[in-house]
Amino acid sequence: MDGLSVDTEPMWLHTEVELAKEYGADWSLADQAHCLGGPMSKVGIHLADKSNRPDLAEWFSDEMVHRMAQRCSQGVGFMPGVEVLLNEILELGIPVGLVSASPRPIVDAVLNGLGKSYYQFSISASDVSRSKPFPDPYLLAADKLNVEISECIVLEDSATGVASATAAGAYVVAVPHLVPIDAAPRRIVLKTLENVSVALLKDKFSR
């Protein structure tokens, strides 16, 4: 979701820098890349380590969720090409769900901020016992779609998300953000989702 479907990564960076600064620490793009695609607990632990406040790891996680939900609820924008692709998927009647490693409050804030329903359902880190990189979220999504996971195409931007989708057994379209991702069997790598259509994806995975 973040950095792939919606342009929320600048919000994440701003919020992480803000929190770190409040506790006398610096936060860089390398720190953001370290936490990319991981559970919120990973962000909290990293902020606590950077701030030399290991006792505040859980508080940092909770505060990140609170601040991000507030910011996302004010409206978010799509990443290039995503809205066009989602509208095509809707017009073709293809079932689609949203799977995110973000907690439920952030996912709901993002979806409300879009102003239109594009997804049949959403799965957040709050909805599974094991989030990405484990396959659980995507296996649950396939079950909700009532399709075999091997027939699903997953769009991801993080190595953690790609690992999750790959472990589940889905086709994967990787659009790397901050961290490079290599092509592999049943996986293609694109620079952007601009000009990407359903027909193009079918063609890529039918070869």
DSSP 79: P
46 and 94 both lie in a single domain: no
Distance CA(132)–CA(1), nearest Å, equals: 12
Tokens of 19: 């929190």
Q: Choose among 121, 91, 117: nearest CA to 104.
A: 121
Tokens of 5: 């479907």
Q: Are residues 47 and 126 in the same domain?
A: no
Query: Domain end: 49, 72, 95, which one?
Result: 72
Q: What share of the chain is helix, strand, coil (3-state, %, to 5)?
A: 50, 10, 40
Q: Do both 40 and 93 map to the same domain? A: no
Query: Is the pTM value of this prediction over 0.75?
Result: yes
Enumerate residues 6+ apart whose C-beta is below 8 A from 206.
none
Residues 179 and 102 in one domain: yes
| Per-residue confidence in pLDDT tens, the chain, 207 aa | 888 899 998 999 999 999 999 999 999 999 998 998 888 999 999 999 999 999 999 999 999 999 999 999 988 999 999 999 999 999 999 999 999 999 999 999 999 988 778 999 999 999 999 999 999 999 999 999 999 999 999 999 999 999 999 999 999 999 998 889 999 999 999 999 999 999 999 998 886
Q: How far apart are CA 86 and CA 6, in angstroms?
A: 12
Q: 59: domain range?
A: 9-72
Beta strands in the chain (DSSP E): 98-99, 122-123, 153-156, 171-174, 187-189
Final residue of a structural domain among 72, 95, 115: 72
> At 94, which CATH number?
3.40.50.1000
Same domain, 86 and 56: no
Domain assignment present for 4: no
Residue 52 lies in a domain: yes
Q: In the prediction, which pLDDT does 207 show?
A: 65
Choose among 144, 167, 133: nearest CA to 36: 133
Domain count, the chain: 2
